[in-house]
Amino acid sequence: MDNKNQEEQPRFKPLIEAADHLSLGISIVVAVLMGVGIGWLLQRWTGVAWTMFIGVFIGIAAAILNVYKAYSKQYKEYEELAKERSERMKPHFDKDEDDEDYGEKNY
């Protein structure tokens, strides 16, 4: 029976999930580097040194936004999993059964 369960599960699912988590780390680095690049361009075009920090702050803000989006996605998946689990844990009653003496205790 274990072989059947293994066959039903996608083989590459753990690899895809790992790549998704890795892409979050890469996107943070890329966002900060792009912000530094924007700041460097601003500094070259304007000649004002502090414009470099504008780009850095833009990059950091973009990285924080990426983390927030990833958190929101994971939280949504967690809520769906918790809801699915609670649905499985509810007792199942047959609707065809007539409950006689519903209010009385029959021991």
- Within 13 Å of residue 36, how many CA atoms lie on the same side as its CB? 6
Q: What does the alpha-carbon distance between residue 25 and residue 70 come to, in Å, rounded to a whole number?
A: 11
Q: Pseudo-torsion of CA 80, 85, 91, 95, nearest 10°?
A: 40
Q: What is the pLDDT of residue 83?
A: 82
Segment 8-32 shows an average pLDDT of 78
Q: Which residue's entry shows tokens 């900060």?
A: 32
Predicted confidence (pLDDT) per residue in 35-91, tens digit: 999 999 999 999 998 999 999 999 999 999 999 998 888 888 888 888 887 777 766
Segment 6-11 shows an average pLDDT of 62
Q: What is the pLDDT of residue 1?
A: 47
